[in-house]
């Protein structure tokens, strides 16, 4: 099932509750929260307090993407704040299996993220314990970047592996997902579509979320 995950990184933080509601009205079913620490990536965004505030204004699952060093130290705080899904970077975790188990221990759905330069082969050993795999289709740190085409190969590879191994993880993609790329992403096999600028950039998130989702579903029907 195709789902749209509006990324609040591109939203107007002065009106965050309204921005989340507008994207939900446009068909968004999960809210994507980009967490950056200024160390693992060259930007600083938000943390558990904002997640706690979001929890008060939406019933949708909160998908927290931790682009941070030492994520294990913060996983309990995100659980307490009301996060539903938490994904950690392969590149940031010294003991990835332990980090994923810690997320699950705190009652959240664990996900693993791979940067553009990281091959899918690196995460094969832990695919059996994740809820989702997030393929970064830009280098993490900033919104509004251009989609990296090589990401499509990685999405296709993850889809094939899922079938070969008899697993059920979902395939998420984040970075440059827009009206001109969403069809390619869906055709490759992605089901969870993170979009920030494409939803919030023009100031009409309800309209643009709805159109993006329409294009994604049309591409999914073509594949079927």
Taking residues 117-130, what's their average pLDDT? 98
Concerning whether 12 is annotated as a catalytic residue, the answer is: no
Nearest Cα to Cα of residue 53 among 15, 93, 92, 110? 15
Q: Which one of 37, 63, 174, 208 is the catalytic residue?
A: 174
| Alpha-carbon gap, residue 101 to 129, rounded angstroms | 8
Axis-axis angle for helices 16-25, 205-223 (nearest 10)? 40
Average pLDDT over the chain, rounded to an integer: 97
Structural domain including 214 reads 3-223
Please tell me the pTM assigned to this model: 0.97
Of 46-60, 62-76, 86-100, 140-154, least confident by mean pLDDT is 140-154
pLDDT at 166 over 90: yes
Q: List the CATH number of the domain containing 21.
A: 3.20.20.70
* DSSP code for 129: G
| Alpha-carbon gap, residue 124 to 179, rounded angstroms | 31
Domains held by the chain: number: 1
pLDDT tier for residue 143 given thresholds of 50, 70 and 90: confident
Quick one: what percent of the chain has pLDDT higher than 70?
100
pLDDT at 174: 97
pLDDT at 224: 83
Concerning whether 63 is annotated as a catalytic residue, the answer is: no
Q: Which one of 34, 37, 63, 208 is the catalytic residue?
A: 34
Taking residues 102-110, what's their average pLDDT? 98
């Amino acid at each position: 099932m195709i789902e749209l995950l509006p990324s609040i990184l591109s939203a107007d933080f002065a009106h965050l509750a309204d921005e989340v509601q507008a994207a939900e009205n446009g068909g968004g079913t999960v809210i994507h929260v980009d967490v950056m620490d200024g160390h693992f990536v060259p930007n600083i965004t938000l943390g558990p307090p904002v997640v706690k505030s979001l929890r008060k204004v939406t019933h949708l699952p909160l998908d927290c993407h931790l682009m941070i060093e030492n994520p294990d130290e913060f996983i309990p705080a995100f659980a307490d704040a009301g996060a539903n899904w938490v994904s950690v970077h392969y590149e940031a975790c010294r003991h990835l299996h332990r980090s994923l188990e810690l997320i699950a221990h705190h009652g959240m759905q664990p996900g693993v993220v791979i940067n553009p330069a990281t091959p899918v082969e690196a995460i094969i050993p832990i695919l059996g314990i994740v809820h989702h795999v997030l393929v970064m289709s830009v280098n993490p740190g900033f919104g509004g970047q251009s989609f990296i085409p090589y990401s499509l190969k990685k999405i296709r590879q993850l889809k094939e592996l899922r079938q070969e191994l008899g697993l059920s993880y979902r395939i998420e993609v984040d970075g440059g997902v827009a009206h001109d790329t969403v069809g390619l992403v869906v055709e490759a096999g992605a089901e969870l579509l993170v979009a920030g600028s494409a939803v919030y950039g023009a100031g009409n998130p309800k309209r643009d979320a709805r159109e993006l989702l329409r294009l994604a579903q049309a591409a999914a029907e073509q594949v079927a």
